[in-house]
Structure 1
């Protein structure tokens, strides 16, 4: 079944249990969210959209991931305004999915601001989707980063008019993430050492 890339992305968010998306009104993803029945919370500035999604991740203790969209593309002023809020989520280890309009192939010659490079220091990962059929793979990578290791924000750049992909050929399954744990023998040894210590 062929589906527009942004609609496929909206359906993936629903499958991940996203209850709503905070946003600034200008993002190619926003209309698709509405078409797929995903509630959106409109904010007056991008930094507020990020802060609301960040707050949601915090109050759920990262069990649910806050998601927001911000204005970007050739007019990168919106994502620039969101930088401080994303940096705060990074500093506080808050998982957060930020979606911005990426630049299509060849469009980078019309702007001087490299969004991906600018946000690398304050995100766990920046994904630049450049083909419609990569939507499921890149979203899977994003959620793997969000649910594994030290929590922090992830930025997905999705260009306008990516086209369609076949959802049957490129299915999506929700991501669990990975948790690491100590060797059980090391834990037992540590407990024995603590119990045997005179002044632990």
Structure 2
């Protein structure tokens, strides 16, 4: 029985241990030990795991190798993941800033005839900009990817790789079938040409 996470089985797992387990499952998938569906199911089980015992149960039929969990103050991400998820997080911030701009300009125009303080509304634009882009006020997902976002992204990448691999395997099978058919036809033709009645003629 594999014990990837040694120690007290009743200790509750951390997000760092879950991330290490997901990385290990991705490695086992890359080695061909797990199918895409099995990897997906086990990743869900990792997300639901409460204790080290729960995590170890996910790896019982896989090679026994202790997973080294390195505690870090911050989650590390690849440059591609950070870039893509920052781009998605920028949309709500840009929307809020755009809406603030429209409201400020419209409010200034509407109140310009009634009060001299109307242009103060325009100050909302730089204030909101500083809050969103300098002080980074708002949900963490706007600025850094969450473990669940990363898991979904990695699973999507694995599914894409699985599709490409299936297409390659189908192409190889088709090529082999064609080669076998050609050989069988050649052998049949050779056998037919070697029949006695062919020589009698």
- TM-score, with normalisation over the residues of structure 1? 0.27
Higher fraction of strand: 1
Higher fraction of helix: 2
